[in-house]
Amino acid sequence: MQTSTPTNIQGRIHSIESFGTVDGPGVRFVVFLQGCPMRCAYCHNPDTWEINAGTPVSPARIMERYERNKSFYKDGGITVTGGEPLLQLDFLIELFTLAKKENIHTCIDTSGIPFTPSNKEWTDKLNTLMTMTDLVMLDIKHIDPKCHKDLTGCPNDNILRFAWYLDKKKIPVWIRHVVVPSITDDETYLYRLGWFIGGLSNLKALDVLPYHTMGKAKYEKLGIPYRLEDIPPMDRPTLLLKKQAILKGIKDRRNQQPGSL
Ligand code: SF4
């Protein structure tokens, strides 16, 4: 197998999970990249935020790690997540080039925040990356611009434009959304989210995830204030009800019948 390419590109890697089962189809080799410009209040990986941290690792080295257990990934593949993987396009292009030589399924789990269509050089690289990407898992944190800013510290306009870009490129997309009690569970907004994603022709799946508090300990360890201190975890029955609002938005968009909740 081709695992070595003479290049100096190295990714800043936070960690690797050898047997991921929630980051794309099948059992996956999951690479967590270091660095994220967002500050989602519910983020359970605040240790991935710092952009200049992480361990430098070459794409060839990552492929060697993949190779060790490759029989496990026959129905899965490689997922890059983070942190924010799209901050490291050169690394991703080289990693996915090696992966595609071996016919490995490739997936990017992203918030879409780095999408910068006005930057031609960046967009050219993104276009190249998309030619070797089989699936994008796009996390839409909140459909409302102001609420999104409050929740993540960043606007959502480029994230939504990124969704349309993927649609135009016909890249299969899974949309992910975390439902947080009193923060992202307003059914009017969830319906609007559904209305937005119902317009995407490349939508393959919708993951509606419950907020949990398992990341809290990391904040204490890092000395970062936890903004959702008083927010309880999302329970499953409520989550299923909330998901219905999104599904109704998708259905109405596809039938072009704006509904009301
Ligand atoms: S985009 Fe992901 S890694 Fe970045 S702050 Fe939000 S949840 Fe955390």
CB 169, CB 223: distance < 8 Å: no
Distance CA 18, CA 69 (A): 8
**What per-residue confidence (pLDDT) applies to 258?**
72
**What per-residue confidence (pLDDT) applies to 257?**
77
Mutating to test ligand 1, I would choose from 36, 39, 149, 179 the residue with most ligand atoms within 8 A of its C-beta, which is: 36
- Quickly count helices (H) and strands (E) in the chain: 8, 8
d(CA 39, ligand 1 centre) in Å = 6
| Full-model pTM | 0.95
CB 116, CB 158: distance < 8 Å: yes
Ligand 1 atom 8: residue of nearest CA = 43
Residues of the chain with pLDDT under 70: 1-6, 260-261
3-state secondary structure of 56: strand
Write out the E strands in 112-202.
135-139, 173-179
Q: Quick one: which atom of ligand 1 is closest to the CA of 113? A: 1
- Which amino acids bring their CB within 6 angstroms of ligand 1? 36, 38-40, 43, 45, 48, 82-84, 111
Distance CA 164, CA 153 (A): 22
Distance CA 117, CA 129 (A): 14
Ligand 1 atom 6: residue of nearest CA = 40
